[in-house]
Each structure stands twice: as C-alpha cells, then as structure tokens.
Amino acid sequence: MNKTNTITGNSALVSADLLIELGCEELPPKSLPTLAKILFESFSSQLNKAELPFNADASRVYYTPRRLALLISGVAERQPDQVLERKGPAISAAFNAEKQPTPAALGFARSVGKDIEELETLKTDKGEWLYCQVEKAGQSLETLLFPALEKALASLPVAKPMRWASNDFSFVRPVHWLVAMHGSKTLNGSLFGLPAGNTTRGHRIHQPGPLKIGAAEDFERILESACVVVDQDKRGVLIEQQVVALAKSAGGKALIDPQLLEEVTNLVEWPRSICGSFDVEFLDIPAEALIASMQDHQKFFPVINSKTGLLLAQFITVANLESLNVDAVRRGFERVIRPRLADARFFWDQDNKSSLEARLPQLDDIVFQNKLGSVGDKSRRIAAISKRIAEIAALDENAASRAALLCKCDLVSHMVAEFPELQGIMGCYYAERDGEESIVSQAIGEHYLPRYSGDQLPSQAVGKVVALADRLDTLTGIFATGLKPSGNKDPFALRRAALGVIRILLDGELSIELDKALEVTALIVHEQLPVTTEVSHGLRHFILGRLKHYLHEQGYDTNLVAATLDAPLSSLPDLMARVEALHNFMHQEVASSLAAANKRIGTILRKSEAVTDDSIEDNMLIIEEERMLFSEIRNVSSRLDRLYDQADYSRALELLAGLSPGIEAFFDNVMVMDDDLAVRRNRLNLLAALKGLFDRIANLALMG
C-alpha cells in the first residue's frame, strides 16, 4: 500500500533554545575545532531528518579544553503533526459482485484503524482506489533528541577513542557531566552512562561548580561568571588583545602565529597573559631557532623589537588562571624556558663543529625514493639541473650549482632534526658560517619557497633557480616512477610542487621557457631513471592543468585560459600577457563575432581534411570579398609580427578586430568548398592564414 506524508500547519508549536553540553577531560587542542564543527553539522542534519524546526543561522557551537557544547536556536518542542495519505486496493479488488468488502479491503481498513464505512474513494487516471487520511501526532524533542545526538557523536573523526572505568562506550576523552535543556526544561535521557541534567561546571580552580543553569540562553553568561570564556572566538580575541598589549608595554611587538593562537585558545578557559624574559646570551643563537623553541615546545609568543624586527629576550605566555602571585607564575615559566633554549644552544654548537659540505656523505644514507635513490642523489641532480638552467638564463651557474649541492645538507643537522620547519633556514646560517658566498647561502635559505599557496618567492634569481630545479627534479622523478597523484592521494605533494614551478616561472626573472626547463630536467633524471616521452608529456599536461586551476583562482575564465594555452607556449610571462590581453578584449562587442568566426574556420578546415600551406595564388582569388580579405591579411601581417615580438597583445587584438567586417563579408559571399579543387585549396589556405594570425595569441574557436 502506498503512503505519502503531509506536515500540517501547527502554529501552536512551542520553540526554545536547546542546550547540549558534554563536560570532558582535557580535549586535544589541535583537533578540537574540527570535532566541534563536525558535531554541529552532524547534529543539525539529525534535527532536519527528524523534522524538528530550528534556526540554523542563530545557532552556535562552543568549545573549551573541558567541554563541547551546542546552543541550537528556536528548536520546536516536538515534530509538527502529520497527515498520512494511505492508498489501499483498487475498488474492483476491494468489493465483490455483491458489493461486500473483500479480505483485501478489510485488511486495509484494519491497518489504518478505520471501519470500511470511513474509507474514501480516490479517483485517478488509472482507476479508483480505497483511500484514507490518517493523522499522526509529532514526536517530542525529548524522545528524538538522544538518539539523534548519539548518531551525531558517532560521526566524529576520533582516531583513538578512549574508554574509561568498565564502560563499553568510548569517546575522544572521558565524559564527566551532561547538560540537556530546552529553554528552562531539563530533558530526560542519558549518554555515556550519565543522566542529563541542568548543572555545568566552571573553571577547574576558580569555581569548579556545580552551577545550575536556569535557562539555555543563560549558558554563556553563567560560565563567564564562573571564570570560563566558553565562546572560543571571544577567547581568541581576548588572548590576542592581551598579548599585543603586553608586548607593547615591554617595548616590542609580539609575533602571533595564527595556528599557535588557535592552539593556545583551545588550551585555556580563563586566559591571563604574562610577560617573561630569558637570558640575553641566548640571542647569539639564530632567532628562528629560539622562536621555534618558544612556539613549538612552550606555546609562547616571541617578542621582537618593533623598529628593527630583531628578537628580544622576552616572551608572552597565557596562563589558565588568575594568580594572586603573578611574579611567582612568571618565574615558573622563565625556569621552564631556560632548558629549552639551552637545548637550542647545544644543537647550534654541535652543528657548528662541521661544515655543510662535510655533511654531504650523510645524505647518501637517507632514502628519497627507492628508484630515485638517496637525498644525496637528489642533491647532485638538483645541482646539475640548476647549473644548466642558470646557464640558459644567463645567471651565475657556479653559484646556482653550489647552492643546489648544499641545500639539503642541513637535513642531517641537530637543529633541523629537532625543528623540521627550520630546514633551509638553518642551512643559510651554516653556509654563512662556512664562508660561502652570500648569493649561495641566501639561495639555500630560500629554496623551499614558496612553501604554500600565497607564500613569498625566493628574493633573488639564483634562489629561484635552485627552488625551480628542486621541484622539477621531484616532479620528473616521481612521474618517471609511475607514482603520479591520483584522486586525493598526493604523498609527494606534487600539486604543490607544480604550483611552485608555475609561480617561479610566472615571476619572469628567469629567462627560461617551461618546455626547456622540463627538457633539461628530463635529460638529467634520465641518467638515473628512464624518462620516456609519455612521462614527459604526462608531466607537462599535469603542470598546465595546475596552471589552469591557478589562473582560474586568479579570476580568469576557464575557456579563456584553455584558448590561450592552445596557442604555441613560450614563456609563462608571455602566456600571462596573452591571457590578460584576451581577458580585456573579450569584453568588447566584436570579440564574440571573431570567436564565432574562428570556430567556423576551424570547423571548415577540420572537415575539409585538406593539408593547407602558405601558398595563396592572387590570380585564383575570383570574388571581390576574398580579394579584399587577402589584401587586409597582407596589410596587417607585418604590423602584427612587430606587435607579437613586443608582446603587445592588446594592440594586436585591436588590429585583428579590424578584420571583422572583411571576415563577415567573406562568409556572406564566398563558397569555400568550391567544386574547382584548385579554387577550394586556395580559399582553405586563405582561411588557414587568417586563423594563424589569431592563433599566435589564442585559439579563439574555443571561446565561441
């Protein structure tokens, strides 16, 4: 039997804010935002499935180290009532010849709780059927809530769930209290072996509780009175304001890393920032090492001189309580930071006992990839690639080769082993200490740039050469091993490497074309691992695919980029100039007609299957319109050559736009596929010559 649901209007439904709070042992700070976000989305989805109306836009998720909470706005106390439309057997099957109900009709009546006389007849195009409407009262929020919450919690990405006591259930951390309130009403139910209540707990030290919540909307206010800033956004802003103010009062400026700020925000409930100091003698160590030690190990915010940018012997930390003896707390943090900085000094001193070059043999003990050999092998390949690219770009090839050879040596240093994010940076310091040329040390320090989308590029050309060579070696080598990215899997970060190649070449400081750079790299990698033509073509396609994606993110139309890439590719700055010129040109009225004309020309040439050439015979141009078009093509060709040589593509497109009337007249009056094969071939050559003028900028046929 068929049925459909209809939700009836019910203006009497009462709604109120719904509060759910899980009180836990200290939650993992780095994964806390993700857990909260997914919990909110999943629980909202469960409410929608349960057909419980609520105001999603006004709803919030809160989290601190000790709690996950949902405050869902305007949740209805129960589902709306429903009317179930039930269709039973056909009338012909429901009654016999004596008009008495059959067993099928009686069964249908029983299933809907009606007498036969109460059933109606539904008339459709396909016949008549027994039919009735059954009212179904909506279920209460209290009934639906806890199963929905269990499903939402089960969806959380918890890598290693914890069990506690002798319970069968598990969660990211043990749960110690549970709040479930609808307005001022406490909802009956349980989770994790805990009955839901209306009491929360405040700050572990200042006001542990229990604290009674009068109504769901009082949640944030009550916790703040108990020394808990439950709103993570407010907590983060408060911490940043405190840190900025303390650094300023100390005569400096705080280095506030966004990720560190988020992590610290998730470590405290009642943030109180404190400024401390350390021995000035530690400033002899590279500032990046001190900063890494403070940020990674202690979650401290370093302080720099606001004028010079140099690191000061001060830091700011965020305590999770308001101490009556701030000086004692400060001294405690200062005692903790000293051994960490002493470790950094030890690493620095140990690393200074040998040169970068002396570390080269150790790179042969680190496997880069089984088929591509060691990191030492990679360093030697990068050096060879860098030398060749620098030679082509008319740069210092010896400096490029030297920097490339040494750029991975700091990977075996004590400092980088402790702080991997300092790779390259420490290599720069060690190279300077070894007396390497500044151009070499700087290139070593910057060859990992850009590390991510939007990151800065190396500041000088030799650094860009090494950065480019490093990425091209990885891309070519991994493609040659057959391990190119698939789906979301990209273990060697080849997409990021390709974007780095694109951004370095788009910068324009290196006078080398992408195809030439790929050719150079393939020849050098081929000495260790075969790089087939198929591999090279696949890699080129991969990089150009990332280029399309990158330019699309910059706001350029996908078809426009594809049309430009379909033209002969030289340097990426030249490509960018063509993209920009075409982007501006396509806003003009004439652009669409030229695109359509190019598409038509391309179709004619393709369908003709004729092999065209440069020969256009004047005496075979019979019709006035084809003679005029040929004359115009000859007139603009030499001028276009000069504009193309100057990369003045905007003026070139303006010149080509002037051909539009002649092109339209040609198609209106000339039959290209003439019966005379010689005339036909001549006209096809004319169209090929015309299209060739456009194709040096872009294949406009792809824009039609």
Query: 36 CB contacts (<8 Å, ≥6 apart)?
Result: 61, 62, 63, 68, 232
HEC string of 116-176 equals HHHCEEEEECCEEEEEEEEEECCCEHHHHHHHHHHHHHHCCCCCCCECCCCCCCCECCCEE
Grouping H, G, I as helix, E, B as strand and the rest as coil, residue 262 is helix
What are the Cα distances from residue 220, in Å, to 62, 197, 225?
9, 17, 9
Among candidate residues 306, 3, 292, the one with its CA nearest the CA of residue 131: 3
Query: 430 CB contacts (<8 Å, ≥6 apart)?
Result: 351, 352, 355, 356, 409, 410, 413
Residue ranges of the chain with per-residue pLDDT less than 50: 1, 3-7, 11
Looking at residue 1, what is its pLDDT? 46
Among candidate residues 697, 699, 667, 694, the one with its CA nearest the CA of residue 683: 667
Residue limits of CATH 1.10.3210 in the chain: 358-555
Q: Tokens representing 514?
A: 């992408």
Residue limits of CATH 3.30.70 in the chain: 2-79+140-225
Q: Which CATH architecture has domain 578-703?
A: Orthogonal Bundle (1.10)
H/E stretch holding 575 reads helix 572-585
CATH number belonging to the domain at 358-555, selected among 3.40.50, 1.20.1260, 1.10.3210, 1.10.8: 1.10.3210
Residue limits of CATH 1.10.730 in the chain: 578-703
Per DSSP, 366 falls in state: S
Distance CA 387, CA 397 (A): 5
| Beta carbons within 10 angstroms of residue 454's beta carbon | 7
Among candidate residues 704, 499, 485, the one with its CA nearest the CA of residue 602: 704
Q: What's 2-79+140-225's CATH class?
A: alpha beta
Contact 86, 135 (CB under 8 A): no
Place of tokens 């740039």: 449
Place of tokens 């030290």: 205
Place of tokens 């070696």: 473
Distance CA 456, CA 469 (A): 17
pTM: predicted TM-score of the whole model, two decimal places: 0.81
Distance CA 367, CA 376 (A): 9
Contact 14, 76 (CB under 8 A): yes
Distance CA 608, CA 684 (A): 8
Looking at residue 704, what is its pLDDT? 57
What are the Cα distances from residue 215, in Å, to 182, 485, 550?
8, 53, 50
Looking at residue 589, what is its pLDDT? 85
Grouping H, G, I as helix, E, B as strand and the rest as coil, residue 635 is helix
Contact 164, 174 (CB under 8 A): yes
The C-alpha angle with vertex 319 and arms to 19 and 302, in degrees rounded to 5, equals: 120
Distance CA 467, CA 455 (A): 13
Looking at residue 10, what is its pLDDT? 52
Distance CA 388, CA 61 (A): 56
Place of tokens 């043990």: 174
